[in-house]
Structure 1
Amino acid sequence: MMILIDSGNSRIKLGTFSETAHAARLAAQAVSPDGAAIAAAPIGRRDTESAAFDNTDIAAVDAWLAALPVRPLGAIGVNVAGDKQGDAIAAAFARQGVTVRWLRAQGEAYGLTNRYAQPQQLGADRWASLVGVTAHQDFGHGPFLLACFGTATTLDTVGPDNVFEGGMILPGPALMKTSLVSGTANLPLADGAVVDFPTDTHQAIASGVAAAQAGALMRQWLAGCRHYGQPPAVFVAGGGWPEVADETRRLLAEAAAVIHCSVAPIEMLEHPVLDGLAHIAATQAAEVS
Structure 2
Amino acid sequence: MILLLDCGNSRLKWALAGPHGWMSQGNVSNQEIGTLALRDWQSLPRPSRVVGVNVAGEATRVRVEAQLVRWRTPPEWLIAQEEGCGVYNRYARPSQLGADRWASLVAARQRVANELFPASCVVVNAGTAVTVDALDETGVFRGGIILPGPSMMLQALAANTAALKVPPGHVHDFPINTADALASGVMQAVCGAIEQTRRRLAGDGPVPKGFLAGGAASDIAPYLTAPVEVVDNLVLEGVLALAEGSTRG
Q: Are 1:270 and 2:246 counterparts?
A: no
Residue of structure 1 in register with 2:210 after alignment: 234
Q: Is residue 3 of structure 1 aligned with residue 8 of structure 2?
A: no
Q: Are residues 1:105 and 2:67 paired?
A: no
Q: Which has the higher mean CA deviation after the structures are superposed, 50-59 or 228-237?
A: 228-237
Corresponding position: 1:171 with 2:140: no
Residue segments in structure 2 that go unaligned for 5+ positions in a row: none
Q: SS of the counterpart of 2:80?
A: coil
Is the partner of 1:161 in helix, strand or coil?
A: coil
Contact 1:145 1:156 in 2 (8 A): yes
- Secondary structure, counterpart of 1:13 in structure 2: strand
Q: For structure 1, list consecutive stretches of 5 or more residues without a partner in the other structure.
A: 23-45, 253-262
Shift of 1:193: 1.8
Q: What is the percent sequence identity of the aligned residues? A: 37
Which residue of structure 2 lines up, in the alignment, with residue 161 of structure 1?
A: 138
CA distance in 2, matches of 1:48, 1:180: 42
**Partners of 1:189 and 1:173 in 2: how far apart?**
15
Q: Structure 1 residues 189 and 62 mapped into 2: Cα distance closer, same or farther (>3 Å)?
A: farther
- Whether the 8 Å CA contact 1:190–1:203 is kept in 2: the answer is no
Residue 132 (1) aligns with residue 134 (2):
no
Which 4+ runs in 1 deviate beyond 6 A? Answer: none
Give the stretch that moved more between structures: 192-201 or 148-157. 192-201
Q: Distance in 1 between matches of 2:170 and 2:22?
A: 39
Q: TM-score, normalised by structure 2?
A: 0.93
Q: What is the CA deviation profile of residues 207-256 of structure 1, one whole-angstrom value per residue up to 9, with x for unaligned ones?
A: 10111011111110110121x733211111222123333332xxx3xxxx
Tell me by how many angstroms 1:161 deviates: 0.7
Q: CA deviation at 1:204?
A: 0.9
The aligned residue for residue 211 of structure 1 is 188
* Residue deviations 1:83-123 (CA, integer Å, cap 9, x gap): 11111111211233221111100011221100000001100
CA distance in 1, matches of 2:217, 2:106: 21
- In structure 2, what is the equivalent of residue 121 of structure 1? 96
Determine which structure has more spread, i.e. the larger CA radius of gyration.
Answer: 1
Are 1:66 and 1:96, in contact at CA under 8 Å, matched by a contact in 2? Answer: no
Question: Matched residues in 1 for 2:211 and 2:175: separation?
Answer: 29
Paired residues of 2:166 and 2:178 also in contact (CA < 8 A): no
Distance in 2 of aligned mates of 1:143 and 1:79: 27
Please, which of 143, 146, 151 is the counterpart of residue 120 of structure 2?
Answer: 143
Cα contact 1:177–1:190 (8 A) shared by 2: no
CA distance in 2, matches of 1:206, 1:242: 15
Q: In the aligned structure 1, how far is the partner of 2:160 from the partner of 2:233?
A: 32
Mapped partners of 2:205, 2:193: distance in 1: 20
Scaled by the length of structure 1, the TM-score of the pair is: 0.80
Contact 1:180–1:187 (Cα < 8 Å) also in 2: yes
The alignment status of 1:220 with 2:178, answered yes or no, reads no
Q: 1:212 to 1:190 in 2, by over 3 A?
A: farther
Query: Does the CA contact (< 8 Å) of 1:237 and 1:268 recur in 2?
Result: yes
